[in-house]
Structure 1
Amino acid sequence: MMPVQVPKGLVLATLFLAVIALATCSMILGYTGISWQDVTGAFSAFDGSREHIVVLEMRFPRAVLATLVGASLGVAGLFMQGLTRNPLASPCIFGINAGASLAIVVATAFFGVTSHEFFALFAMVGAAATACVVYFLGMSTGNLTPLNLTLAGVAVNAFLASITSGILVFNESVLDEVLFWLSGSIEGRRLDLVVSMIPVMVAGWLVAFLLAKSMNAQALGDDIAKSLGQKTVRVKLAACLVVVSLAGISVAMAGPIGFAGLIAPHFARALLGLDYRWLIPGSMFIGASLLLSADVLARFIVWPQEVPVGVAMSLIGAPFFIAYARRSLTT
């Protein structure tokens, strides 16, 4: 009996509704009891009550940030896996997050930077520099294989993380400022700050959508892509720009959150196939859903205290990573 093919449009619509539902849960669930009526009332008839203030000043910006960062990490992970042809590629595995984090710690420790706008700039520079280092290290053997790239990424990730730790050890004031952020946190971000970062993320998403057909051709290999008239170098550079900008801005806003960029593309391919025109929005919705789920989970792991969302995301992502690695080793 043939399996029933679910229309891809219906799959995307379901994923979008899941994001809306999880964002609503993010605004309702937590230490302060919030009802559905409180959420709707905060937007339609704000009365200055404690519940309405919690929704508008704390829960809503947090839900928006989780959605934006999760979507951006999903697209960044998708493009990294496509560029490297490595199913384990992601900003956290390949050291992109570590490079962006180091750049922000250096900016804070040595230049006194405290603005998230400048954090974003330093993070993107750090992410770009790390991507170049990993690429050239992977090429050092003369054969750019997925294994070489993974080994280079893991090595660079560990090296940059040790430098970051060393800086923080000798700068306790900086440690106090960035310790919670380094664990991955979306708590306490103002709505105006979140909104100010939206143009960068939207620009990255738009470029990703414009590259969808080119990435489909690139997936067939460089030779076939060139035979189809594609400028492969330009496509790869543009795709790298998407990864660097989206991963960098995500680290600047929420710290180095792992696994979302690794998991989302795998689920998207399982549900939507291999066409990037479907994979990009699918990875966005799944990445957003993962981070929203992690944000809700973070509030209940050690109730009534909260843990950073990066810790909760690791609890979700680590079992997937182990299971995938085990399956790859046995096939």
Structure 2
Amino acid sequence: MLDLSAAAQPATAAHLFQRRRRAQRRATGLTLVALVVLLGLVVASLAVGSRALSPVDVMSALFSDRRDAVGVIVFELRIPRTLTALLAGSCLGVAGVLMQAVARNPLADPGLLGVNAGAAVGVVVAIAFFGVGTAAGYVWFAFAGAAGAALLVNAAARPGRRGDTIGLVLAGVALSACLGAVVRIITLADDDTFESFRFWAVGSFERRDPDVAAQLLPFAIAGVVLAAAVARGLDQLQLGADLSRSLGVSPAAVVVVAGTAITLLCAVATSAAGPLAFIGLLVAHLVRRVVGRGVRTSLPLAALTGAALTLASDVIGRTIALPGEVEAGIVAAFVGAPLLLWLVVRKPS
């Protein structure tokens, strides 16, 4: 008698393999498309501003030793802010995918572990007590505040249950509320601190020092390396804690490594540009919609998509209010919120 169950198993395995191959090919194609779009946005970022430059002027400045007004605008003003936007956006994109995979919650945001609130406290302390008044000066205070907040969240979670993401998220929400109160107390008590802090809090890439991106790049690389290393474990963790253990994966170790990567990536982005709303959350939903839930296949596309959305927000902000500009954080929130709502209410195809 023919054993139908035995014949069905290879067919099922082959079907799953084919689905995985199709998802990988689709992710590769979309990654190439995102890269082309991102290159176009880079050229637009170098050309758009209070003084518009043609693509010919931009290329001439990039590939020559021009020291005229065009060269100064490109190299001293627009390249630093473009690099900072690329760095912050790619970090938020990767952190968004990791955060939703760790929390197993589509509403999880990269700032959920208290990173944004910790960075805000660091900036407020720098302004109010150390007299720091430049974006380059804020960076290390913001990074220290973000890292400190993440460490407190991990310490608040029970040491014996690091695989329990619910406790980790609850600790992050509670700490964010407390740190937000600290920020409000300090800014309300000092008008000068409030005036300086509010420009950082809206999320802007204006007047970024050329060294900001270079200073934060090693931490971003470390975060991306950790994300790549833990991606396979996160994919297996989505099968359930018991099944992942049977596959040789330690849920606690995966959560700790992923949390460290999220901390580094969010700290870099928030330190460089302030809190950018919806970028990480929106990227995670976009990527999951087009390539599925696999973390390993999502990370490259998430990095490019996050960078493109952030840079597009900055370019739009410089375009709609000439000769002034609207901060990228405001544009990201204004455009990202309706787009995220559309993605949520729209039925999957």
Offset of residue 116 of structure 1: 4.1
Mapping of residues 274-289 of structure 1, within 5 Å: 274-289=293-308
Q: Structure 2: which amino acid aligns with 1:206?
A: V
Aligned residues: 319
Q: Could you tell me the TM-score, scaled by structure 1's length?
A: 0.86
2:317 counterpart of 1:298:
yes
1:123–1:249 contact (8 Å) kept in structure 2: no
Aligned residue in 1 for 2:150: 128
Counterpart Cα distance in 1 of 2:204 and 2:217 = 18
Structure 1 range deviating more: 171-180 or 82-91:
171-180
Counterpart for residue 217 of structure 2: 198
Partner of 2:267: 248
Matched letter for residue 320 of structure 1: L
Q: Offset of 1:295 from its aligned partner? A: 0.3
In structure 2, the residue matched to 1:25 is: 44
> Are 1:269 and 1:279, in contact at CA under 8 Å, matched by a contact in 2?
yes
Q: Which range moved further: 127-136 or 318-327?
A: 127-136
Contact map agreement 1:97 1:251 (CA 8 A) in 2: yes
Residue of 89, 98, 104 corresponding to 1:70: 89
Distance 1:211 1:46 in 2: 44
How far does residue 277 in structure 1 lie from its aligned partner after superposition? 1.8
Runs of 5+ consecutive residues of structure 2 not aligned to the other structure: 1-21
Provide Cα deviations, 1:12-61, integer angstroms capped at 9, x if missing partner: 11111111111111111222111111111112113212122111111111
* Distance (Å, rounded) in 1 between the aligned partners of 2:147 and 2:335: 29
Identity in percent: 32
Structure that is richer in helix per residue = 2
Residue segments in structure 1 that go unaligned for 5+ positions in a row: none
1:63 offset after TM fit, Å? 1.1
Q: Separation in 1 of the partners of 2:174 and 2:146?
A: 20
Deviations for 1:187-218, whole angstroms, at most 9, x for unmatched residues?
Answer: 11122222121111011111111112111111
Deviations 1:208-263 (A, max 9, x none): 11112111111112111111111221111010000111101211111111111101
Question: Structure 1 stretch 104-113 or stretch 208-217: which is displaced more?
Answer: 104-113
Kindly report which structure 2 residues correspond to 1:3-22, keeping only aligned pairs within 5 A, or say none: 7-22=26-41
Partner of 2:140: 118
Aligned Cα root-mean-square deviation (Å): 2.7
Alignment match, 1:161: 180
Any conservation in 1 of the 2:94–2:224 contact (CA below 8 Å)? Answer: yes
Give distance in 1, aligned partners of 2:321 and 2:192.
27
Q: TM (normalized to structure 2)? A: 0.82
Q: Residues 188 and 204 (structure 1 numbering): CA distance in 2 closer, same or farther, change over 3 Å?
A: same
Q: Which has the larger radius of gyration?
A: 2
Structure 2 counterpart of 1:297, one-letter code: I
